[in-house]
Chains A and B, each alone.
Chain A
Amino acid sequence: EVQLVESGGGLVQPGGSLRLSCAASGLTFSSYWMSWVRQAPGKGLEWVANIKQDGSEKYYVDSVKGRFTISRDNAKNSLYLQMNSLRAEDTAVYYCARDVVGLGLAYWGQGTLVTVSS
């Protein structure tokens, strides 16, 4: 059974930083693209970033470029999102998701809440 467990969320002041983690199990982690998707309170889904199997390619939504960095450690079956210069509009539940070719975002974690507020 595929399991994705996010952690690292919390309350942070505007301009601050936070690092999210996603621990994967039940899959050959190094074989898959992985994504971060967020959902602001009461709002819809927004894809944030994804990363290729070996970490050689990374893509971001325009609103986070230059502020967020996605990375992975295949030896630890873990995905990360380093978030800097946080803004109020970054407040959301952040989900990690496994990309499957042809299926899209096939498996999702439970999410971790990030609140940016003074």
Chain B
Amino acid sequence: DIVMTQTPLSSPVTLGQPASISCRSSQSLVHSDGNTYLSWLQQRPGQPPRLLIYKISNRFSGVPDRFSGSGAGTDFTLKISRVEAEDVGVYYCTQATQFPSYTFGQGTKLEIK
């Protein structure tokens, strides 16, 4: 199974400042079809997860453009250009390269300083 490792596990950020979360996979997430099925989910307090980014860098419907994803192979990054209060929550990276099974990172808690 592919293991997903996120850093940091907790990230205190000042409102209006950028934030960055890293995700590393135990093996390459490049699928045989050439795509890389790495996604990012956001889970606000008391809410279900919500898809933010898919295939490394594509924003899902309704996701603000302050969220961006990058990376390749085994190393990926989620960036928030200017953190807003509504961004507080836990962020998870997840892989679907080994579909039909999925694995998730441990989660990174984003909180306001």
Contacts and interface: CB of A to CB of B under 8 A. Distances in A.
Interface of A is mostly: strand
Contacts of B100: 33, 50, 57, 59, 99
A35 B41 CA distance: 16
A32 interface: no
Contact of A95 (B37, B49, B106): B49
Interface residues of B, number: 24
Q: Is the interface of B mostly helix, strand, loop or mixed?
A: loop
Contacts, number: 64
Contact of A108 (B37, B49, B103): B49
Given A103-B60, A108-B50, A44 B92 contact: yes
Interface in B71-95: 90, 92, 94
Interface of B: 35, 37, 39, 41, 48-51, 54-55, 60, 90, 92, 94, 96, 99-107
